[in-house]
């Protein structure tokens, strides 16, 4: 996703240097919105990994504030905004490195999982493709 460096701050937030390459251009000189959303999925999910908890994104809301330029240094951060049992609210933001201006912001709901999540997903797919009712 164009991550160049990750650092963890003492408060538990994760900070990144990154840039959007031309392969993710969505309009002349600017990033595709899917790349921006993908960056958020990665950094909010990775925050949980850093906290040694597997969690998947159940919901993601992205606000695109300004066009994100390609081929420019960017920064991003992710931080835990709240926790309710196994549900985490994680926020993220992407900034233009030169000015610090926020270009995009995300709020994600992460749901804690065990590794059996992936086994169950494969089993569910098997039932689904076999034509059962697919209830997981």
Ligand X SMILES: CCCCCCCCCC(=O)SCCNC(=O)CCNC(=O)[C@H](O)C(C)(C)COP(=O)(O)OP(=O)(O)OC[C@H]1O[C@@H](n2cnc3c(N)ncnc32)[C@H](O)[C@@H]1OP(=O)(O)O
Residues that bind ligand X (CB under 6 A): 41-42, 45-46, 49, 56-59, 85-87, 109, 111, 113
Nearer to ligand X, 14 or 104 (CB): 14
Q: Could you tell me the smallest distance in angstroms from the CB atom of residue 40 to ligand X?
A: 10
Q: How does DSSP assign the chain, residue by residue? A: --EEEEEE-TTS-EEEEE---GGGEEETTEE-HHHHHHHHHHHHHHHHHHTT--EEEEEEEEEE-SPPBTTS-EEEEEEEEEEETTEEEEEEEEEETTT--EEEEEEEEEEE--THHHHHHHHHHHHHHTTS----
> Of 85 and 100, which has the nearer Cβ to ligand X?
85
By C-beta, is 100 or 136 nearer to ligand X?
A: 136
Q: Give the nearest distance from C-beta 90 to ligand X in angstroms.
A: 11
User: Cβ 65 to ligand X, closest distance in Å?
Assistant: 23
Closer residue to ligand X in complex, CB, 6/69: 6
Q: How far is the CB of 82 from ligand X (least distance, A)?
A: 13
């Amino acid at each position: 996703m164009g991550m160049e460096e990750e650092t963890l701050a003492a408060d538990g937030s994760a900070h990144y240097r990154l840039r959007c390459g031309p392969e993710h251009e969505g309009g002349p000189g600017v990033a595709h919105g899917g790349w921006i959303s993908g960056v958020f999925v990665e950094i909010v999910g990775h925050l949980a990994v850093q906290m040694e908890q597997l969690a998947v994104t159940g919901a993601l809301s992205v606000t695109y504030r300004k066009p994100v330029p390609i081929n420019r240094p960017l920064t991003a951060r992710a931080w835990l905004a709240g926790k309710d049992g196994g549900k985490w609210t994680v926020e993220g933001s992407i900034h233009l490195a030169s000015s610090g201006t926020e270009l995009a912001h995300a709020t994600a709901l992460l749901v804690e999982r065990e590794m059996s999540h992936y086994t169950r997903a494969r089993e569910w797919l098997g039932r689904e493709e076999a034509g059962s009712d697919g209830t997981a």
